[in-house]
């Protein structure tokens, strides 16, 4: 029995069964998008801009078309021109015109790697040769790479038609939007403060870094129907966006979810899918496109670099009284950075009476950003959690005590207004405070310990689930949420728990877009919350029907049948033997036919997530290299369905956060060309860079959810950059205000500090 925090005893929820898709994945049998082949299949490749910002004067494909084996070449001239219309795409909305212009550049290239043309040929090598034969004439324009530069008057303009409300209809701009959030009066608040800290932070653009490059196989049939096999976080998003970009109706596209090799938000939009269908339509053959790693880094959607100013004030006794933040995020070439989320998360862990947050979405000559695990929140927390750490020090308080004094709790107003319901910020702080790690002493030179907290909203959105009862008493759970991290197992566990069947008698199935109702992306930490809820309701639908069938057999009314502990029995005992689902299943034909349970949901009442991360590290004083010695993360997980995969989310998010903190960054030269397009130079953590990762799951159930589930995937990436920065401060005395805190940056800061203290000492002599 697995005990739960809400007093319910579960048989299956809270245990750690082996995932149903596990054997396929350890034997190499699981089919990812790039593993699909079809008879007569062609291979597609994409020609990409070598310039950060340029006008396309002409494209000549004549020589390329003449190459034997080349079957089709497309440019933006082959796509319909779309209006500036917003289309919902999971967590975000996408401007369809911009989406189309990102898939194939129209008149202008806006970043190094921007797609210009696509080729289909009989082999990938021939398609590559054809790319070299396409002649594109460019008129190179000056690029603008940083938000600070892009916001200046007279900066090069990326999009001629971009306007914002404040500057009016006549003013060209790179600022796509300005948002403001306000509570109380910050000026009055700062007047009450005994200590005020104000800092400016810069964070670098980083990539999700999934190991599997994007892929798509498109098959267009002569009857006008198309099928796409691809690795995506959302089959229904691929369907609607591909249909919109190609100007065909959604119902004519079926998207089949391949296994997906990581996404972290980066696979919630389309790049290759419309091209695969278009090239298939022109050639009559299936067309497969896969990206190289360089293409993934240059031309998919990383997350924003940013400039953030954060000013916070506290009274002597450690109460936060005011917070003022200014955030500007790189959107990439088209509007739509996660700066709004950054603004709404930056002060959320704390109950601060007076706040003012300004946020700017700014276009620059970089790839259009996409979602990345708690989009926008890690940059923001780097700023606020560093300032909080400084204030705690000023007040002479332990950083956890300071946070506990100010922590958001049930009823604290959120940045957007309405108060938090049941949340676990305080519980994560208490968990770290009581951990063996926190109580242990960190000794040795150049070592430091840092702590930081983080917040993420999580989302609900739409899901569908179908459960089929088979004649041998096994059941299949059909869902539309693709499985990136073990969610099939969790869905099966929910069904098994409700139906009282063995976990191995449940087969979870991820279905294509024709075979399941609309289901939004696997993202926003929503799969166990929302799809799990739908599966729970579908299982309840089965229970209702089982009662009806048993009632028929026992010649009773359905309401006279009870279902408990997996057994159906009459409410009033009269010697009838209770029956399990397994015993009733073979008798369904005689009691009315098969049983199918169904449920759909547009999930409300999302439980937001908090995490607190504790890091020990050692800094090499000669090189500035940081070695992480120990990490513990405490997270409010609501209710852990499959604890091993919940821990996995916490560990994986922490690892990505540490990479973001220490090494990862997009490095552009002065012409706006990306110089680190491989995984040797875009340096993600290896298992030598990281220690064992300790996890503490705190369970504060989400009210309203039948199982108390809270999304767990995203929030663990939020605290690590600030926790690492705070630990570096304890180790070296240096406050780092820039990400990543790579060896050269940290060494420079340490040398500067040493030079300052040397000259101070000299002056004292």
Partner 1 sequence: MVHKVIVETTINGDPVELLCEPRQSLLEVLRDELDLTGSKEGCLTGDCGACTVIVDGRAVCSCLMLGAEAAGKHITTVEGLANGATLHVLQQKFLEHASLQCGICTPGFLMSAKALLDHNPNPTEGEIRYALAGNLCRCTGYDKIVKAVVDAARHGVGASQHGKVPTESTAEVTRDILEREKR
Q: How far is the CB of 608 from partner 1 (least distance, A)?
A: 23
Q: How far is the CB of 382 from partner 1 (least distance, A)?
A: 19
Phi, psi (5° rounding) for residue 297? -75, -40
Q: How far is the CB of 155 from partner 1 (least distance, A)?
A: 35
- State which of residues 88, 211, 589, 755 lies at the interface with partner 1 (CB under 8 A): 211
- State which of residues 5, 6, 9, 18 lies at the interface with partner 1 (CB under 8 A): 18
* End-to-end Cα distance, the chain: 71
Any contact of residue 652 with partner 1 (CB under 8 A)?
A: yes
Size of the site for partner 1 (CB under 8 A): 63
Q: How far apart are CA 626 and CA 639, in angstroms?
A: 35
Of 361 and 616, the one with the shorter C-beta distance to partner 1 is 616
Any contact of residue 286 with partner 1 (CB under 8 A)?
A: no
Any contact of residue 684 with partner 1 (CB under 8 A)?
A: yes
Q: How far is the CB of 452 from partner 1 (least distance, A)?
A: 17
Any contact of residue 212 with partner 1 (CB under 8 A)?
A: yes
Q: How far apart are CA 375 and CA 348, in angstroms?
A: 15
Of 196 and 644, the one with the shorter C-beta distance to partner 1 is 644
Any contact of residue 706 with partner 1 (CB under 8 A)?
A: no
Of 235 and 415, the one with the shorter C-beta distance to partner 1 is 235
| Residue listed under structure tokens 């107003």 | 413
Any contact of residue 7 with partner 1 (CB under 8 A)?
A: no
- State which of residues 14, 19, 467, 626 lies at the interface with partner 1 (CB under 8 A): 19
Peptide bond into 388 cis (omega under 30): no
Any contact of residue 66 with partner 1 (CB under 8 A)?
A: no
Any contact of residue 692 with partner 1 (CB under 8 A)?
A: yes
Q: How far apart are CA 230 and CA 34, in angstroms?
A: 8
Question: Interface with partner 1 by CB under 8 A: which range of 17-25, 106-114, 505-513, 660-668?
Answer: 17-25
Q: How far apart are CA 286 and CA 120, in angstroms?
A: 10
Cβ-proximal residues to 724 (8 Å cutoff; 6+ apart), any chain: 450, 615, 617, 626, 628, 658, 661, 662, 741
Structure tokens at 184: 């109380």
Cβ-proximal residues to 359 (8 Å cutoff; 6+ apart), any chain: 177, 178, 179, 180, 181, 327, 328, 329, 339, 340, 342, 343
Any contact of residue 760 with partner 1 (CB under 8 A)?
A: no
Any contact of residue 35 with partner 1 (CB under 8 A)?
A: yes
Q: How far apart are CA 469 and CA 488, in angstroms?
A: 17
Of 69 and 578, the one with the shorter C-beta distance to partner 1 is 69
Q: How far is the CB of 287 from partner 1 (least distance, A)?
A: 15
Any contact of residue 27 with partner 1 (CB under 8 A)?
A: yes
DSSP H helices, 663-742, are: 720-732
DSSP state of 606: P
Asked if 125 and 72 count as a contact pair (C-beta separation under 8 A), the reply is no
Q: How far is the CB of 702 from partner 1 (least distance, A)?
A: 23
- State which of residues 12, 13, 34, 355 lies at the interface with partner 1 (CB under 8 A): 34
Q: How far apart are CA 150 and CA 143, in angstroms?
A: 9
Strands (E), 170-314: 175-183, 195-203, 215-220, 226-230, 253-257, 287-290, 306-314
Interface mask toward partner 1 for 389-408; x: CB under 8 A: --------------------
Structure tokens at 296: 């993934």
Look at residues 206, 208, 197, 403 and name the one whose alpha carbon lies nearest to residue 313.
197
- State which of residues 323, 473, 485, 672 lies at the interface with partner 1 (CB under 8 A): 485
Asked if 54 and 139 count as a contact pair (C-beta separation under 8 A), the reply is yes
Interface mask toward partner 1 for 445-484; x: CB under 8 A: ---------------------------------------x
Q: How far apart are CA 280 and CA 289, in angstroms?
A: 11
Q: Is the dihedral of CA 22, 28, 34, 39 positive or negative?
A: negative
- State which of residues 4, 11, 22, 138 lies at the interface with partner 1 (CB under 8 A): 22
Question: Interface with partner 1 by CB under 8 A: which range of 29-37, 198-206, 312-320, 597-605?
Answer: 29-37
Of 673 and 679, the one with the shorter C-beta distance to partner 1 is 679
DSSP state of 242: H
Look at residues 217, 220, 215 and name the one whose alpha carbon lies nearest to residue 246.
220
Question: How much is the CA Rg of the chain, to the nearest whole Å?
Answer: 28
Of 108 and 214, the one with the shorter C-beta distance to partner 1 is 214
Q: How far is the CB of 265 from partner 1 (least distance, A)?
A: 12
Of 20 and 705, the one with the shorter C-beta distance to partner 1 is 20
Q: How far is the CB of 239 from partner 1 (least distance, A)?
A: 22
Strand partners, 323: 312, 355
Q: How far is the CB of 650 from partner 1 (least distance, A)?
A: 8
Any contact of residue 647 with partner 1 (CB under 8 A)?
A: yes
Question: Interface with partner 1 by CB under 8 A: which range of 56-64, 536-544, 564-572, 640-648?
Answer: 640-648
Q: How far is the CB of 521 from partner 1 (least distance, A)?
A: 15
Asked if 349 and 185 count as a contact pair (C-beta separation under 8 A), the reply is no
The site for partner 1 (CB under 8 A) is made up of: 16, 18-19, 21-23, 25-32, 34-35, 37, 68, 125, 208-213, 259-264, 290, 292-293, 484-486, 618, 627, 629-630, 642, 644-645, 647-648, 651-652, 654-656, 678-680, 684-688, 690-693
């Amino acid at each position: 029995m697995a005990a739960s925090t809400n007093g319910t005893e579960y048989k299956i929820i809270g245990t750690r069964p082996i995932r149903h898709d596990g054997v396929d994945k350890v034997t190499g049998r699981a089919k990812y998008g790039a593993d699909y082949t079809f008879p007569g299949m062609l291979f597609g490749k994409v020609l990409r801009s070598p310039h950060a910002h340029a006008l396309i004067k002409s494209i000549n494909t004549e020589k390329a078309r003449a190459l034997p084996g080349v079957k089709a070449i497309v440019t933006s001239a082959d796509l319909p021109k779309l209006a500036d219309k917003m289309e919902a795409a999971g967590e975000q909305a996408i401007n369809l015109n911009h989406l189309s212009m990102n898939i194939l550049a129209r008149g202008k290239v806006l970043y190094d790697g921007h797609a210009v043309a696509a080729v289909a040929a009989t082999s990938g090598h021939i398609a590559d040769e054809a790319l070299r034969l396409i002649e594109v004439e460019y008129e190179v324009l000056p690029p603008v790479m940083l938000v600070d530069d892009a916001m200046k008057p007279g900066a090069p303009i990326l999009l001629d038609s971009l306007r914002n409300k404040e500057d009016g209809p006549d003013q060209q701009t790179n600022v796509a939007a300005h948002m403001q959030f306000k509570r109380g009066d910050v000026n009055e608040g700062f007047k009450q403060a005994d200590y005020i800290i104000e800092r400016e932070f810069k964070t670098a653009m980083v990539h999700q870094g999934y190991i599997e490059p994007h892929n798509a196989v498109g098959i267009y049939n002569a009857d006008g129907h198309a099928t796409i096999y691809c690795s995506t976080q959302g089959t229904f998003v691929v369907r609607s966006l591909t249909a919109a970009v190609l100007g065909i109706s959604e119902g004519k596209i079926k998207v089949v979810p391949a296994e997906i090799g990581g996404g972290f938000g980066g696979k919630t939009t389309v790049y290759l899918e419309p091209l695969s269908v278009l090239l298939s339509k022109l050639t009559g053959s299936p067309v497969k496109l896969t990206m190289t790693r360089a293409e993934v880094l240059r031309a998919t959607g990383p997350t924003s670099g940013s400039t953030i100013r954060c000013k916070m004030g506290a009274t002597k006794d450690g109460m936060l009284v005011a917070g003022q933040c200014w955030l500007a995020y790189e959107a990439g070439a088209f509007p739509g950075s996660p700066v709004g989320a950054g603004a709404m998360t930056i002060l959320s862990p704390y109950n601060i009476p007076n706040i003012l947050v300004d946020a700017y979405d700014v276009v620059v000559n970089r790839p259009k950003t996409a979602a990345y695990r708690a989009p926008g929140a890690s940059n923001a927390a780097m700023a606020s959690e560093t300032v909080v750490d400084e204030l705690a020090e000023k007040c002479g308080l332990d950083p956890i005590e300071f946070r506990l004094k100010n922590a958001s709790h049930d009823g604290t107003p959120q940045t957007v207004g309405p108060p938090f319901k049941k949340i676990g910020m305080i519980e994560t702080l208490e968990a770290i405070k009581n951990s063996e790690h926190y109580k242990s002493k960190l000794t040795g030179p150049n070592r430091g310990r840092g702590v930081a907290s983080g917040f993420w909203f999580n989302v609900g959105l739409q899901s569908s689930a179908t459960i089929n009862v088979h004649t041998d008493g096994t059941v299949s759970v059909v869902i539309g949420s693709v499985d990136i991290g073990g969610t099939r197992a969790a869905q099966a566990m929910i069904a098994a728990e409700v139906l009282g069947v063995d976990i191995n008698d449940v087969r979870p199935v991820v279905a294509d877009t024709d075979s399941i109702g609309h289901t939004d992306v696997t993202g926003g930490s929503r799969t166990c919350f929302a799809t799990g809820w739908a599966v729970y309701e579908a299982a309840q639908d089965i229970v209702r029907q089982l009662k009806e069938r048993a009632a028929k057999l026992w010649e009773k009314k359905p309401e006279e049948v009870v279902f408990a502990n997996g057994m159906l029995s009459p409410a009033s005992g009269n010697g009838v033997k209770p029956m399990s689902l397994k015993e009733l299943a073979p008798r369904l034909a005689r009691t009315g036919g098969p049983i199918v349970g169904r449920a759909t949901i547009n999930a409300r009442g999302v439980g937001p997530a908090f995490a607190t991360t504790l890091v020990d590290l050692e800094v090499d004083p000669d090189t500035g290299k940081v070695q992480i010695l120990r990490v513990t993360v405490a997270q409010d997980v609501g209710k852990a369905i499959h604890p091993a995969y919940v821990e996995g989310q916490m560990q994986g998010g922490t690892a990505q956060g540490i990479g973001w903190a220490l090494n990862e960054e997009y490095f552009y030269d002065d012409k706006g060309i990306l110089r680190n397009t491989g995984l040797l130079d875009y340096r993600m953590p290896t298992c030598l860079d990281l220690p064992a990762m300790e996890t503490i799951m705190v369970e504060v159930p989400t009210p309203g959810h039948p199982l108390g589930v809270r999304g767990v995937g995203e929030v663990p990436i939020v605290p690590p950059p600030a926790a690492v920065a705070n630990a570096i401060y304890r180790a070296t005395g240096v406050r780092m205000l820039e990400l990543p805190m790579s060896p050269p940056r940290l060494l420079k800061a340490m040398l500067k500090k040493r030079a300052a203290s040397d000259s101070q000492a000299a002056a004292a002599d």
